[in-house]
Chains A and B, each alone.
Chain A
Amino acid sequence: MTRITFVEADGTRHEIEAENGSSVMETAIKNGVPGIIGECGGACTCATCHVYVEPEWVEKTGVPSPMEEDMLDFAFEVRPNSRLSCQIIVSDELDGLVVDVPTQQA
């Protein structure tokens, strides 16, 4: 099991045991983290699972694929550490990962 922390815009923290192999978006939805919608169900076609990866984790989560970059155009308040959480797959490597949930999804 891998620990992932979601931080809501108001600072509320949700520490969750995530299942390896599932996506960070699925982890959030399964555990009812507010602010992550996942309208398209994880097909990288909606930009409603936008998160900010805390800077110290950016290297481990990697960079968005060109398709994810395209879809981030539909997100709001995009920053250099913006990711679509359906495209981050949980693994042992990510144990302790912290992501911030934006104030509003697209």
Chain B
Amino acid sequence: MSAHEIETDVVIVGAGPVGLFAVFELGLLDLKCHLLDILDRPGGQCAELYPEKPIYDIPGFPVITGQELTDNLLKQVAPFGPEFHYNRMVVSLEKQEDGRFRLVDDEGQAYVCSVVVVAAGGGSFQPKRPPVPDIADYEGTSVFYAVRRMEDFRDQDVMIVGGGDSALDWVLNLAPLVRSLTLVHRRDNFRAAPVSVGRMKELVAQGKMRFVLGQMKELHGADGQLTSVSVRTAGGEENIPVTRLLPFFGLTMKLGPVADWGLELNDNLIAVDTEKFESSVPGVFAIGDINHYPGKLKLILSGFHEAALMAQAAKKIISPDERLVFQYTTSSTRLQRKLGVKK
């Protein structure tokens, strides 16, 4: 547990387009934000699922890619100095005695804030579990979806499955310290960087590892300890000794720990009102794809609208005595100063 707590006005869970725009709307009201995201960069689904794909329904932009939209939003929120925490998942949310909220992420960092905004889209991106029978029995002991400590793989019989950069990078990193290494991929083409593929092929030529063209079929072992994996190949089936398995099948979205925060859910989505987009717990708001209300449309533009209304309600919680005068960025000198466009 980290000794240093971060105190801020608002913690935003999720740095996708809607979480980013929330920084803008909250910033205009002088609220300071910290954002957490499970990915290693901002943009959420826009960055992870379709960075290059055109989006046609952002008002004012006949066409814009997910990456361009993300870049523009980052530029738009820069004047408000949001602080980003990537590769983090919020694991718990509790209300403190002083009425503020305390969130803790998966690295033990605590955040204390007056308002929580859940803008987590489809949930958190988590590694896909291949549908191999009994794989869950070995997770955390013999099957891993990421390498946290390389030492866990020393002198082990390691099998890596996949053809992308994660698979190939770990082949190259783990090769020097394992007892045996097998890469399994369904085809002879790789998505990974050609230079990594070239280095892998050199290792194969030197007899330091094997490449098997095929797909995982069955796991063998007991009590969480894997002993071998059967692989279906063009020639039939091969049983390969394996004590550590690393499957890399990309990411999928799961609601994750949000489900345990005591918020009223509606079919895995957070139920909110349509005035403030507040959840069943006062002070915890949900905006974007993760919320539900009658007539909800999962559109980025709907999330933007929700962010604006949420911000007004958040301000009233944080500064209950301050009279809120609604202002436009086009004409308000005060807002323009905040945006850094007027001195």
Contacts and interface: CB of A to CB of B under 8 A. Distances in A.
A103 B187 CA distance: 21
Interface stretch (A14-22, A38-46, A54-62): A38-46
Nearest to B167: A73
Given A106-B249, A106-B252, A73 B50 contact: no
A69 interface: yes
A47 interface: yes
Contact of B253 (A39, A47, A69): A39
Nearest to B253: A39
B49 A76 contact: no
Given A73-B162, A77-B131, A78-B215, 6 more contacts: A43-B49, A47-B250, A70-B191, A73-B186, A76-B131, A76-B215
A40 B50 contact: yes
A70 to B, nearest CB: 5
Interface of B: 49-50, 53, 122, 128, 130-131, 162-164, 185-187, 189, 191, 215, 249-250, 252-253
A43 B53 contact: yes
Given A73-B163, A74-B128, A104-B131, A43 B50 contact: yes
A8 B204 CA distance: 40
12 contacts: A39-B252, A40-B49, A46-B49, A46-B250, A73-B163, A73-B185, A73-B186, A74-B128, A74-B250, A76-B130, A78-B215, A104-B131
B69 to A, nearest CB: 14
A21 B128 CA distance: 31
Nearest to A103: B131
A53 B128 CA distance: 24
Contacts of A43: 49-50, 53
Given A40-B49, A69-B187, A74 B215 contact: no
Instruction: Choose among B130, B164, B186 the residue with the greatest number of A CB atoms under 10 Å from its CB.
Output: B186
Task: Classify the interface of chain B: helix, strand, loop or mixed.
Answer: loop
Task: Classify the interface of chain A: helix, strand, loop or mixed.
Answer: loop
Given A43-B50, A46-B49, A78-B186, A73 B191 contact: yes
Contacts of A69: 187, 189
B49 A73 contact: no
A72 B215 CA distance: 12
Contacts of A76: 130-131, 215, 249
A74 B53 contact: no
Contacts of B187: 69, 73
Contacts of B250: 46-47, 73-74, 106
A43 B252 CA distance: 14
Nearest to B191: A70
A70 B164 CA distance: 9
A40 B191 CA distance: 19
Interface string A60-93: 0000000001101110111000000000000000
A77 B49 CA distance: 22
B252 A73 contact: no
Interface string A17-55: 000000000000000000000011001011100000000
A74 B166 CA distance: 13
A39 B128 CA distance: 13
Nearest to A48: B252
B172 to A, nearest CB: 18
A106 B53 CA distance: 21
A69 B163 CA distance: 11
B101 to A, nearest CB: 31
A73 B49 CA distance: 15
Nearest to B185: A73
A73 B253 contact: no
Nearest to A37: B252
Top-8 shortest CB links A-B: A74-B250, A104-B131, A43-B50, A45-B49, A70-B191, A43-B53, A40-B49, A76-B131
Instruction: Choose among B162, B191, B253 the residue with the greatest number of A CB atoms under 10 Å from its CB.
Output: B191
Given A40-B50, A43-B53, A69-B189, A106 B128 contact: yes
A76 B128 CA distance: 11
